Amino acid sequence: MHRRMTVAVAALVFGAACNQDPTSASSTTNELVLAQNAQVIADNVAATRDGGTTCEGWFGRVIDTLRTTDNPVAIAYLDSARANRDSAFHAWMAGDTAQARAYRRAAFRDLLSAVIAIFPNAPERTGAAVDTAVARIEKFLGDQPAPRIRAILAHVDTLRASADSALAAGDKVTALALNLRSLQILHRLREHVEFAHHDHDDVADGEMEEVGS
């Protein structure tokens, strides 16, 4: 009798496990762990001895270079970025948040232009880092179920395609912006999965604009 009850209980437990909802708490927790590991993979790819291919890395490299090298074009873009940030502040103080955001975006693009003035291959290098990071993350995931992560990787692939199109059209600033956005999403992958951001691009852009402010 006891043996029959044990077998029956085991059967119920096994059945419950087989029918577990993939969106359950345990499944979500597991995907968060995968996202954290994948995020570390992306960060390791982006890291380089000279500062990395993230927006922080490129901006820092520009400042370091200008300490010893004169580049009037880059300096002009940095001055423009400073002016746009000031305009953003005044617009925000006046309550015009839309105009403030537009000035912040203009300032960020000025910074990207300064990067490209000194490092013309920045869009390509950043895009290559994204591609390498995605490939390594996909290899790491293997056949593990991670629908949220895979959806974000698919979005990053779309951003990379748009970046390549912009580069082919000669728009290096947009190409760099899109590639940096991709890398920023991967850099914060766990948060994007955990909080289910509906607009990954807006979140990533806001974080990068803060770096340049």
In a domain, 10, yes or no: no
Report which residue type is found at 76: A
pLDDT value of position 51 = 62
Q: What is the CA radius of gyration of the chain?
A: 22
Tokens 């975006």: give the residue: 105
Distance CA 205, CA 22 (A): 31
**Per-residue CA distances from 186 to 22, 42, 131, 144 (Å):** 23, 6, 11, 18
In a domain, 188, yes or no: yes
pLDDT value of position 25 = 53
**Within 10 Å of residue 102's Cβ, how many Cβ atoms?**
15
What is the total count of domains within the chain? 1
In a domain, 99, yes or no: yes
pTM of the model: 0.84
Q: What are the strands, taking DSSP E only, across the chain?
A: none
Residue range 27-37, pLDDT digits in tens: 677 999 999 99
In a domain, 19, yes or no: no
In a domain, 18, yes or no: no
Residue 192 domain boundaries = 24-211
Residue range 117-145, pLDDT digits in tens: 999 999 999 999 999 999 999 999 999 88
In a domain, 9, yes or no: no
Residue 42: partners with Cβ closer than 8 Å, 6 or more residues away: 133, 137, 183, 186, 187, 189
In a domain, 33, yes or no: yes
